[in-house]
Structure 1
């Protein structure tokens, strides 16, 4: 989808408006078509609220059709037949195009169990999750009744739609769909920010292999120039952040043992709030370190 400004969407013809927003809700252009009557929108949030209102007031049959328009997660047959570009990008962002055999079997098992019970696909906003957290969410939701799951599915569809609107529509106001993961390293031996520490962020996985998220080096302020994760939700899951402190102290000719007592410091932590700000600082000397949950 090419990005549009809110003013362009307010001014264009109805057909162009619908065409631009047709897949904000998967294969459901009727939502954009009905929301078009509420133009002009004062902001992106008002645009999204108008589309969401059409979903909320839709009859049961249309809401069920909207749910069924979504693909199963990690379904090889559906991927081969062709997903929407939006769904394909979303599933790829989670790594569903490169599952281990154990992960594929786990997704196939829960997909089949969910469809057998409810008659529609399991839906979750995958950009807010890791593969592990999706599988846990599957298991939490399977005991629900159909009415509860329909409502939960609509909530997740609206989360997906909000991220698509944020990606597609440029405006002065932004939807609150992004989180941030950051770090700050303080050299408490020298009493200053630790510049030049190489670090690596890994997403951990129970059934697959760990996935590299990013590598960075701390700047003069002991921070990274960009958030470790930013401009998107911080996926729910488990992570490991490793700091190369041995090299840092050696380059500054700080007396240490040989080999250094602390060389690579791995911090394992979990993310539970995709739209929040999670700060993972490190306070370090050649002989000790500490961390805490910041924000």
Structure 2
């Protein structure tokens, strides 16, 4: 998406305004059409609130049409037919374009069961999820009744729209759609921040290959120059942080066993709040380590 200034959107003709925001909600330009009359907007928060109000006030048949406008997740048939650029990028971001055979089978089974029961596609804001968390969410929602699922689907559609709008519109205010995952390493043997420790963040997968999310090195403050994940939601799921502490202590000529008792330390943890700040530090000596949940 090319970014638009909110000040420009406020002055566009109705036609240009609708064209610019037509696919914030998938294949549903009527939402932008209804929102245009409420201009000017003081910020993107007010713009999103107006778009969400149009959805909330829409008749049930129009809300159902909005739900049905969305594609199934990880559908080879729908991918071959062509997704919107937004849906394609969103599904690729979570790895739905490169599933293992076991993952593809699991998604196909879940999609079929959901559609068979409800008559509309399962919808979730995939940029807040991992493949494993999506499959768990399928199982959690399948026992619901159609009314509850329609409401949940609309809530997820609004989350998708908020993230699209965040990417599309430049404004002085910001939608609260981003989270942050960070770390730091403290050398408790030397009593100082540990600089130069190689760090790898991996998203763990139950059915397919795990994915490396970030590779970095700690700076002079023992932290990373950028968050491990930032400027977007931190997807719900399980992760591993691996720290190469053996090399760090060897380079500083700290007495150690050969091979080092602690060479690479893996910390496994889970994320449950995509828009929150999760801090996972490491306190380490050549013989011991500790961590805690920070924020």
Residue 249, structure 1, aligned to residue 271, structure 2: no
Name the CA distance, whole Å, in 1 between partners of 2:10 and 2:284: 54
Find the residue that maps to 2:201 and give its secondary structure.
strand
* Alpha-carbon distance, 1:271 to partner: 0.2
Name the CA distance, whole Å, in 2 between partners of 1:112 and 1:26: 21
Residue 87, structure 1, aligned to residue 65, structure 2: no
* Alpha-carbon distance, 1:68 to partner: 0.1
Name the CA distance, whole Å, in 2 between partners of 1:275 and 1:268: 20
Root mean square deviation of aligned Cα: 0.3
Residue 131 of structure 1 corresponds to 131
Matched ranges for 1:145-184 at <5 A: 145-184=145-184
Residue 260 of structure 2 corresponds to 260
Residue 58 of structure 2 corresponds to 58
Matched ranges for 1:188-267 at <5 A: 188-267=188-267
Q: TM-score, normalised by structure 1?
A: 1.00
Name the CA distance, whole Å, in 2 between partners of 1:199 and 1:256: 21
Q: Which 4+ residue blocks in structure 1 deviate beyond 3 angstroms?
A: none
Cα deviations by residue, 1:260-291 (Å, 9 ceiling, x for unpaired): 11000000000000000000000000000000
* Alpha-carbon distance, 1:227 to partner: 0.2
Name the CA distance, whole Å, in 1 between partners of 2:19 and 2:144: 36
Residue 279 of structure 2 corresponds to 279
Name the CA distance, whole Å, in 2 between partners of 1:150 and 1:70: 13
Q: TM-score, normalised by structure 2?
A: 1.00
Name the CA distance, whole Å, in 2 between partners of 1:50 and 1:83: 26
Cα deviations by residue, 1:150-191 (Å, 9 ceiling, x for unpaired): 000000000000000000000010000000000010000000
Residue 42 of structure 1 corresponds to 42
Cα deviations by residue, 1:25-57 (Å, 9 ceiling, x for unpaired): 000000000100000000100000000000000
Name the CA distance, whole Å, in 1 between partners of 2:165 and 2:209: 32
Mark the runs of 5 or more structure 1 residues left unpaired by the alignment: none
Find the residue that maps to 2:16 and give its secondary structure.
helix
Name the CA distance, whole Å, in 2 between partners of 1:237 and 1:112: 24
* Alpha-carbon distance, 1:134 to partner: 0.1
Aligned residues: 295
Name the CA distance, whole Å, in 2 between partners of 1:63 and 1:91: 22
Name the CA distance, whole Å, in 1 between partners of 2:214 and 2:278: 16
